[in-house]
Amino acid sequence: MVSPSLVMVDLAAGTFHPADVTEPQLRVDDLAPVRGDGIFEAVSVRGGVIHGFDDHMARLARSARTMDLPEPDAGLWRRAVEAAVEAHDACDEIVVRFIISRGVEATGALTAWALAGPAPEHAIAERETGVDVVLLERGYDSDAAQRAPWLLLGAKTLSYAVNMAATRYAKDHGADEVIFTSSDGAILEAPTSTVVAARGDTLLTPDPDFGILFGTTQIELFRRAPEVGLTVEYARLTEEDLLTADAVWVLSSVRLLVPVNSINGTPVKRDDDRGRTLLELLG
Ligand code: PLP
């Protein structure tokens, strides 16, 4: 059994120290457990390499701005993440979550930590097996992010209860995974992943302006795709676009690239050769 490793970060002092994950570290009145009031990132460390750190930091900084939190210190976080990896048992794939909470109310002191653990086995297995997906409505339209910034759409906050509830709903209804749709019929994202579809030699993904997270795995894939002759496009996709695509995947730092087998019970095409090529690009 591989146990997690923990580094507590003092943002005000710009320091961090290793800590025992089995010992209490957070006050029970911290706003992270009380209100989910904070932001985080989850980076993948494969073969000792931290993947996409700069893209994760850029997104953490965006989340911080959206949440009126101070600009995160990229250098401090890199060192803290490296320390968490260093303290972790050897493992092919490690995931490091680094978290900033608004801290204990009225103290003005943020709470922050980096927690490293092994990538879940099911996430790795799904790269081969693929997932059956149900489309579920997210309850807002594709303009909501622009109109209603207080909804924090596009920020990676600690409030994942809705996303987890949707995943449980999918499992209760015979599926493995969810893809959210907007009330005006746009494909959005999965609860912890970005949707990418192939149409001929073009990779398509929903425009992040539709109120979804800008996925760092998708960003890296789109950066590298021209190397294997693919063009890339941010688009407004519908259910029909996914059903008629040449392949559909869900992407995240933890899962990398997972093929979609079916949507609402209808099989979608799989292109495992292309999937392998894209996985190699992600490294
Ligand atoms: N969308 C949501 C809601 C997520 O939680 C995640 C995972 O963090 C993603 C997309 C994919 O992002 P990334 O590729 O940076 O892991």
Domains and CATH numbers, the chain: 5-119 (3.30.470.10), 124-282 (3.20.10.10)
Nearest CA to ligand 1 atom 3: 192
pLDDT recorded at residue 2: 79
**Cβ of 167 less than 6 Å from ligand 1:** no
For the CA of 163, the closest atom of ligand 1 is 3
- Residue 181 makes CB contacts below 8 A (sequence gap 6+) with 135, 136, 137, 138, 187, 188, 239
The C-alpha torsion from 153 through 158 and 162 to 167, rounded to 10°, is: 110
- Three-state DSSP class for residue 38: strand
Measure the CA–CA gap between 109 and 111, rounded to whole angstroms: 7
CA neighbor of 27 nearest in space, from 100, 81, 105, 116:
105
Q: What percent of the chain has pLDDT over 70?
A: 100
Report the relative pairing of strands 38-46 and 202-206 from DSSP bridges. Answer: unpaired
* 136 CA distance to ligand 1 middle (Å): 17
Residue 96 burial class via C-beta count within 10 angstroms: exposed 0-12, middle 13-18, buried 19 and up: buried
**How confident is the model at residue 272, as a pLDDT?**
97
Angle between helices 216-224 and 272-282 (to 10 degrees): 100
pLDDT for the residue numbered 64: 98
Over the range 55-65, which residues count as b (16 or more CB within 10 Å of their CB) and which as e?
A: bbbbbbbbbbe
Q: Is 120 helix (H, G, I), strand (E, B) or coil?
A: coil
**CA end-to-end span of the chain, whole Å?**
26
pLDDT at 1 over 80: no
- Ligand 1 atom closest to residue 189's alpha carbon, by position in its atom list: 1
Whether residue 215 has its Cβ less than 6 Å from ligand 1? yes
Determine if residue 185 is left, alpha or beta; phi over 0 gives left, psi from -120 to 50 gives alpha, anything else beta. left
pLDDT digits (tens, 9 = 90+) for 226-252: 999 999 999 999 999 999 999 999 999
Residues 6+ apart with CB under 8 A from 250: 131, 133, 177, 179, 190, 193, 194, 195, 196, 258, 260
Mean pLDDT confidence for 153-162 = 96
Query: Could you tell me the two tokens for 204?
Result: 């398509």
Measuring from atom 12 of ligand 1, which residue has the nearest CA?
A: 215
Q: Are 21 and 115 in contact (CB under 8 A)?
A: yes
Residue with tokens 């490793």: 5
